[in-house]
């Protein structure tokens, strides 16, 4: 019985794992594709490209709630605020470090990483920026789209605080 269960588990798991590993670019593993997609998401913040940010997310998450500070709002509301308030009068020069990819199935994956760099206010004051993020991707019509974002503040690089 145990051997039969092992064979069934193998038959169920392997096709999904192989499909996930070989899908996406014909030359790059899916993990490289996902890290590049996450970097594209970060680049939209650096460029303040709200419209591109929206296109990186799946259509059905427009009412998904985002928590910022003590408040929650929909993604569409967040993007509207970013568009109207020019990204809270801040700009960023941030990059992904230490990306980790976990394939969750043939059409789902998690990319976890840290963002480090700097944040500059409208008056020119610059401060270090550091945060931990995870993006959940789902492959929709052959394209990896973000279906969930999570972030946690990190101490600033070199600050020695926790």
* CB 92, CB 118: distance < 8 Å: yes
Which backbone phi and psi does 96 adopt, to 5 degrees? Answer: -80, 135
Closest among 61, 139, 142, 137 to 107, alpha carbons compared: 139
Q: Return the CATH architecture of domain 19-153.
A: Roll (3.10)
Tell me: pLDDT of 87 over 60. Answer: yes
Percent of the chain with pLDDT over 90: 40
| Low-confidence winner among 3-7, 77-81, 143-147 (lowest mean pLDDT) | 3-7
By mean pLDDT, which of 32-41, 135-144, 150-159 is the weakest? Answer: 150-159
Mean of pLDDT over the chain: 77
Of residues 35 and 84, which shows the higher confidence score?
A: 35
pLDDT, tens digit (0-9, with 9 covering 90-100), for 1-54: 444 334 334 333 444 444 444 344 455 699 999 999 999 999 998 898 888 988
- Please, what is the Cα angle at 140 between 136 and 143, to 5 degrees? 85
For 96, residues 6+ apart whose C-beta sits below 8 A from its C-beta are: 35, 38, 39, 42, 113, 114, 115
């Amino acid at each position: 019985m145990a051997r039969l269960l092992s064979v069934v588990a193998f038959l169920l798991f392997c096709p999904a794992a192989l499909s996930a590993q070989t899908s996406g670019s014909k030359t790059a593993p899916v993990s490289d594709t996902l890290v590049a997609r996450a970097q594209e998401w970060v680049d939209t913040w650096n460029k303040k490209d709200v419209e591109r940010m929206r296109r990186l997310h799946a259509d059905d998450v427009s009412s998904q709630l985002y928590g910022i500070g003590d408040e929650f709002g929909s993604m569409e509301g967040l993007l509207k605020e970013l568009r109207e308030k020019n990204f809270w009068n801040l700009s960023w020069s941030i990059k992904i470090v230490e990306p980790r990819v976990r394939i969750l199935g043939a059409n789902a994956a998690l990319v976890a990483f840290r963002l480090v760099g700097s944040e500059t206010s409208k008056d020119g004051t610059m401060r270090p920026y550091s945060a931990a993020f995870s993006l959940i991707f789902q492959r929709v019509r052959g394209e990896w789209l973000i279906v969930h974002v999570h972030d946690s503040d990190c101490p600033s690089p070199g600050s020695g605080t926790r």
